[in-house]
Structure 1
Amino acid sequence: MRRLDADPANWPEGDLEREAESAEKILAWMGDGRRELDEIIGTGEAANGQVKATTAADGTVREIVITPRAMRLDSQSLAEELMLAVGRAQDDAERQGRRLMTDALAELLPDSGLDPRDLEERVGRMLRSFERP
């Protein structure tokens, strides 16, 4: 990845303008991107599809569906299956958010020299900073 010298006097001609343009593009995307992130719904299931969960991008549980058959499980097993379905939904939402941000940054900064795998790892770390407790 390209490193920017902290002293603008050492920047090659045109770098400041390119960096400013990139910053403007990122700021413009942030409003739309926030809306897109807010629309992400993760889904997960457990107990052979008898327990289903949906979550928002921030991990908030939106819905849980438990079939009558799943209600036959003992309380400990049902709780474990619920946690598994919710965890899977949260993982799904995180994957979608990471993909959205990685794709957007790659599009906004095509000549940044960012390695897509490195970018995805950085985005993942950033998203995990908002993780549920």
Structure 2
Amino acid sequence: MLDFDPARFRPEDVDRLAAQADDALRRLSASTEEMVNLTATGEAAGGLIKATVDSSGRIKRIALNPRALRMDSETLAESLIEAIGAAQDDARDRVQEMVAELMAATGLPAKVDTEAVLEKVGAIGDATRRRFDEHHDDLNEVRRAF
């Protein structure tokens, strides 16, 4: 979790924040790789039809038990759609779980209010500029004194 309070910022906080950011990036990288390699399988017709999809829901494999070929074409098509849909639902749910776990591990909320974040970032930027201006003025006073 990134722990940053601009009002109490000290130079030694830079190393701590950098370490926290590195840890968050490592977790993100590992989670991204896990998501890319994720596959999910759905079944229909009592397991006679199986569909495997990747994390984005693209079909990677369809397996038909020879007994499935005895179905009429309409039932077979419906069963294929059912198996693919089940696999896609499972993939979506697993990706959402992974994202929620990642967000929780980094201390970020699973759902982000973008407007609130932008408002907070703007407020932090304004506070940082004010403090910088104050320090700049202080440094100018010290320089004039010499």
Which interval holds the TM-score relative to the shorter structure? Answer: 0.5 to 0.7
- Partner SS for 2:47: coil
The 1:81–1:19 alpha-carbon spacing in structure 2 relative to 1, beyond 3 Å, is: farther
Aligned positions of 1:32-47 closer than 5 A: 32-47=30-45
Q: Cα deviation per residue 1:75-122 (whole Å; 9 max; x = unaligned)?
A: 11111110110110011111111111111110111xx5x3xxxx2xx4
- Partner SS for 2:46: coil
Give the RMSD, CA atoms, in angstroms: 2.6
Q: Confirm or deny that 1:27 pairs with 2:25.
A: yes
Other-structure match for 1:72: 70
Other-structure match for 1:128: none
Q: Alignment length, in residue pairs? A: 104
Gaps (5+ residues) in structure 1?
1-10, 124-133
The 1:98–1:19 alpha-carbon spacing in structure 2 relative to 1, beyond 3 Å, is: farther
Moved more, 19-28 or 83-92: 19-28
Other-structure match for 2:55: 57
Gaps (5+ residues) in structure 2?
1-5, 113-146
- Partner SS for 1:48: helix
Aligned positions of 1:1-133 closer than 5 A: 12-14=7-9, 23-109=21-107, 112=108, 114=109, 119=110, 122=111
The normalised TM-score by structure 2 is 0.60
Counting helix residues as a fraction of each chain, which structure ranks higher? 2
* Higher RCO (CA < 8 A, seq sep 6+): 1
Bigger Rg, structure 1 or 2: 2
